[in-house]
């Protein structure tokens, strides 16, 4: 059995950061208007909605989406943890230590903070007051375990406004290390809490030269 852990892409369904446009599906031809078929154009940020960041996002010498291998997006030993956080709070090393035994066996970590509850009920709060992962939390994960990726249910692995002011430290720890690693942001774990998760699939558009891509992400449960 499979379950989606990504959100649909649409003007109402996608919550973009304020400097990015909402996605638009632009009709180019419609049968209802006399055209022979229906065709559309898609306009959106590669960081829109549930999306993947790869090393080129923070490392000028890092891999772009099209340079990754398909197996880099498939995970055989995923781990979902619950670590609830509120406005501006961070997930720290101390928060993660209790999960160390499970992390030793994991290749992909999904963190449910509960902050996704505000995604549709209070989008301004979801965007501007987002929780995040601290630098020491990110360092704990990459220095002690064999993870190949992290996925969170908030807008970015760190609060974007704070990142613009102080630097994207968690992003840099995860991505700017000369290794293959993915960060998946704005995930939807609502339907897989308390489920046994077998595998995770993070499917991006293979965009040439891109540092990120929207994804369809799903799990086998």
Query: From CA 85, how far away is CA 132, in angstroms rounded?
Result: 8
- The domain tally of the chain equals 1
Cβ atoms of 119 and 126 within 8 Å: the answer is: yes
Domain extent for 85: 2-220
pTM reported for the whole predicted model: 0.96
CA angle 130-131-132, nearest 5°? Answer: 120
What is the tens place of the pLDDT at every residue in 6-45?
A: 999 999 899 888 778 889 999 999 999 999 999 999 999 9
Give the CATH number for residue 114: 3.50.30.50
What the block records as the tokens of 1 is 């059995």
Q: Sort strands 212-220 and 2-4 into parallel, antiparallel or unpaired.
A: antiparallel
- β-pair partners for 203: 216
What is the tens place of the pLDDT at every residue in 60-109?
A: 999 999 999 999 999 999 999 999 999 999 999 999 999 999 999 999 99
Query: From CA 172, how far away is CA 139, in angstroms rounded?
Result: 10
What is the SS3 assignment for 108? Answer: strand
Sign (positive or negative) of CA dihedral 90, 95, 99, 103 = positive
Cβ atoms of 174 and 54 within 8 Å: the answer is: no
């Amino acid at each position: 059995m499979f379950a989606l852990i990504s959100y649909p892409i649409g003007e109402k369904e996608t919550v973009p950061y304020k400097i990015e446009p909402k996605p638009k599906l632009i009709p180019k031809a419609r049968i209802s208007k006399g055209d022979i078929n229906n065709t559309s154009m898609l306009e959106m940020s590669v960081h829109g909605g549930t999306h993947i960041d790869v090393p080129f996002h923070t490392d000028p010498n890092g891999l772009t989406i099209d340079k990754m291998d398909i197996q880099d997006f498939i995970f055989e030993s995923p781990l979902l943890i619950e670590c609830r956080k509120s406005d501006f709070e961070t997930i720290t090393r101390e928060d993660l230590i209790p999960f160390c035994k499970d992390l030793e066996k994991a290749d992909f970590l999904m963190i449910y903070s509960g902050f996704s509850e505000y995604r549709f009920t209070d989008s301004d709060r979801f965007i501007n007051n987002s929780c995040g992962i601290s630098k020491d939390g990110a360092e704990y994960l990459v220095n002690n375990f064999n993870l190949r990726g992290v996925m969170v249910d908030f807008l970015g692995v760190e609060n974007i406004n704070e990142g613009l002011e102080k630097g994207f430290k968690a992003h840099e720890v995860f991505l700017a290390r000369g290794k293959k690693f993915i960060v998946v942001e704005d995930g939807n774990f609502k339907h897989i809490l308390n489920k046994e998760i077998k595998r995770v699939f993070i499917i991006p558009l293979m965009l040439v030269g891109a540092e990120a891509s929207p994804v369809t992400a799903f799990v086998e449960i």
